[in-house]
Structure 1
Amino acid sequence: MKFTLRYDGELHSSNGNDYRTKVRRAPEIWAIRRVVSAQLALLWKRPPLSERSTLVSWFPREIKERRVVPLVVAEVKMLAALDIQILRGDEPGNIVNNAGDLDNRIKTLLDGLRGPLDSDKGDPPGNLPDPLYCLLEDDYLISELSIKTGPLLMPPLEPTPDPAAWVNVRIDVDVRAAELTMLNLGLASP
């Protein structure tokens, strides 16, 4: 199953294991989750997912007092290949800037694509959808990752104190079966 997710917003680094950094980036990770959840909620209403509604109440989890419904789940033997294009407002070739270096910005993005974990720092905002749809149960279910960057040739869509951190992200997702099972038959790309 192939589809595309989009994100327009700030994307900073989740640099290091410093507790303060993780708490500071938590609102951004939750913002990514909120945007992705809205797109995945629509995807769940279309075939082939809509035809699997009984299966796909799908291993909902209760995490941080939220119902979380991941699409790519280890128990169903599924993996995701991600082809990510990030358009950013900084100069071409400038992969280290005030918004953070590219690999740590990717880490922030991947944290936003996976479901929350009990070990996540910071509290979730109160205005999240119920359930919260997410792409991945955990980011270890990513089997391939391709990243391309380019210049963002438009201003941020909303006021921001850090325009260099504003990005337009396109994520082409290819959901694949690690092993074909009755649960993933018809959902995974060949």
Structure 2
Amino acid sequence: MEITLTFEGRIPAQRGDLDVTWTMRRSFSAQLEKVWGKAPFETLKEWEDTAFAAGAPKFTRAVSGQTFVPLYGRDVGVGVDLDITLLTGMPVRKAVISAGDLDNRVKRIIDALRVPNGQGEMSHKLSPGGRYYCLMEDDDAVLSLGARLGPYLGSDDTAVSFAIVRVRPIAMRVTLGNLAMLF
């Protein structure tokens, strides 16, 4: 099943501002929570509800007292093809490519779609025991990637961007448990 996620806000090319990544992560989490437990992801919810009994893969991750629930990844056996369209606010008469480093912005989006790699990627503004839905457990789940850049005409603020992330599942291995997620 194809999923389309969106984000409107700052996506700077420079790394280092953890709050920006967490703003995106919270936005994506709220969108992914809407598909959690519904076809084709009901199998993941059943696995979690049974405490991963009968050999079900334990795909959830605990990082610094927070629970992360990735929908795709190696444990589930399904990777993703990401098609990212990044619309950026641009000053008048400035070339599209000079509006920012596309590679770094795409990497920031991918970072926000995955489970944090540890304490260094955690925000200090989180309440204990939070639950976040992530697209994937790690960026290793990205098996194919396309990106394009265009002008964002929805805001007069040149720092505001609009990202459209189209997600298509790709089999890493096919099982009865993940078969529905592939179509």
Q: TM-score, normalised by structure 1?
A: 0.81
Query: Cα–Cα, structure 1 residues 106 and 52, in superposed 2: closer, same or farther, change >3 Å?
Result: closer
Q: Which consecutive residues of structure 2, in runs of 5 or more, have no partner in the other structure?
A: 50-57
**Residue from 23, 34, 46 that aligns with 1:42:** 34
Query: 1:145 maps to which residue?
Result: 145
Q: Tell me which amino acid in the other structure corresponds to 2:23.
A: A
Query: Cα–Cα, structure 1 residues 122 and 62, in superposed 2: closer, same or farther, change >3 Å?
Result: closer
Alignment of 1:40-119 (within 5 A): 40-50=32-42, 52-56=44-48, 59-90=59-90, 93-97=95-99, 100-118=100-118
Deviation at 1:165, TM superposition (A): 2.6
Aligned partners of 1:10 and 1:166 also within 8 Å:
yes
**Residue from 156, 167, 176 that aligns with 2:170:** 176
Matched residue SS, 2:161: strand
Residues paired across the two proteins, number: 173
Q: Tell me which amino acid in the other structure corresponds to 2:96.
A: N
Could you tell me how far apart the structure 2 residues matched to 1:86 and 1:48 are?
A: 27
Query: 1:33 maps to which residue?
Result: 25
Post-superposition CA distance 1:94-115 (Å, at most 9, x none): 3234xx4111111111111111
Q: TM-score, normalised by structure 2?
A: 0.84
Query: 1:18 maps to which residue?
Result: none
Query: 1:6 maps to which residue?
Result: 6
Query: 1:160 maps to which residue?
Result: none
Q: Which consecutive residues of structure 1, in runs of 5 or more, have no partner in the other structure?
A: 16-21, 157-162
Could you tell me how far apart the structure 1 residues matched to 2:164 and 2:149 are?
A: 10
Query: 2:54 maps to which residue?
Result: none
Deviation at 1:121, TM superposition (A): 4.0
